[in-house]
Amino acid sequence: MKKLIYALTLSSVSILVGCKETQKVSNIASTDGAKVTNQIKKNEATIDLPTVKKHLYTLASDEMQGRKPGTEGMEKATQYIENEYKRIGLKTFKELTTYRQNFEYKGIKMSNVIGLLEGNSKKDEFVIVSAHHDHLGTKKEGEGDLIFNGANDDASGVTGVLALAEYFAKKGTNERSILFVCFTAEEMGLVGSEYFGKGIDASKFVAGINLELIGKEPKTGPKTAWLTGFDKSDFGRIIQKNLEGSGYQLFPDPYPKFQLFLRSDNASLARLGVPSHTFSTTPIDIDTDYHKVTDEAETLDMEVLTETVKAVARGTESIINGKDTPSRVEMN
């Protein structure tokens, strides 16, 4: 009987110890699983059409009154961008205490909107992602539609900036710091970007990714875009290499006679030597909505816009992650 009781006692102890060990292993597995799940959630970075559409339709709405600097509509657009930067978790840049870089031009108070996503290992090397959030405002007189909504020019680009900010913030793998900038007064002659350029050390800026007119299918066909100043640096060739196998293609600017490399905000940084170029999709030689009140959100293709922003994310990632460094621009 004693042997039986002893045997049963040993068996009970073994079961108890076994249960505890099993529970311990289970807890470890559960903890590790939670870590993996959290890591996956952190890296669940996507660029989706509904979010793209929300940004575009908000920024190009009549409520924004054409986003002319110094107007109530421009203030509303600026606040929308600021709120998105805050939601995404971007920081302020340098000595700025808010996302606004305020200045005055010809008696008009205006501001660039700047958000910073710090790099992991190369915080002092910057890649700038930009677009201009201003447009032409409203007609002073007339009948019917009087608002220059500027959906393609350049609410589409600002939409791209916001989508890319959220994408890279969620991904968290950017080794270089990224500045997301919505420039003001581009339509008045690159005023906002020139002001920005005067206050930076251009040698710390590795590349400029400017987005403009990216909401219509180009003449090169679906899932394509074109890049201004393609021959000014090897930036475009880096993008082409990174897009191989993606089904999306990048081409040199097909409109050299328009000198578009000098007509958007990328030019302000390019003049400082930064390999800064503009992505676009619109066939501007035949576009009937450019600088017209007909440039409405409904005229844009959300699929084109979304796929283009995705391609920019994939195409520039090796630059943002510190693997590739484009050659500097030398202006003739």
Q: What pLDDT does residue 43 have?
A: 53
Question: 114: closest CA among 97, 101, 126, 105?
Answer: 101
What is the percent of the chain with per-residue pLDDT over 90, rounded to a whole number? 85
Rg (CA), the chain: 25
Task: Report pLDDT digits (tens) over 304-324.
Answer: 999 999 999 999 999 999 999
Helix (H) / strand (E) element for 126: namely strand 122-132
Task: Report pLDDT digits (tens) over 74-104.
Answer: 999 999 999 999 999 999 999 999 999 999 9
Mean pLDDT of the chain: 90
The answer to whether residues 274 and 326 touch, using CB atoms and an 8 Å cutoff, is: no
Residue 221 in this model has a pLDDT that exceeds 90: yes
The answer to whether residues 283 and 219 touch, using CB atoms and an 8 Å cutoff, is: yes
Output the 3-class SS for 130-195. EEECCCCCECCCCCCCCECCCHHHHHHHHHHHHHHHHHHHHHCCCCEEEEEEEECCHHHCCHHHHH
Tell me the CATH number for domain 47-320: 3.40.630.10
Is the pTM above the cut of 0.95?
no
Mean pLDDT of 154-180: 98
pLDDT bin (cut points 50, 70, 90) of residue 204 is very high
Spans of all domains in the chain = 1-42, 47-320
Task: Report pLDDT digits (tens) over 121-139.
Answer: 999 999 999 999 999 999 9
72-88 vs 49-59: helix crossing angle, rounded to 10: 150
Q: What pLDDT does residue 44 have?
A: 79
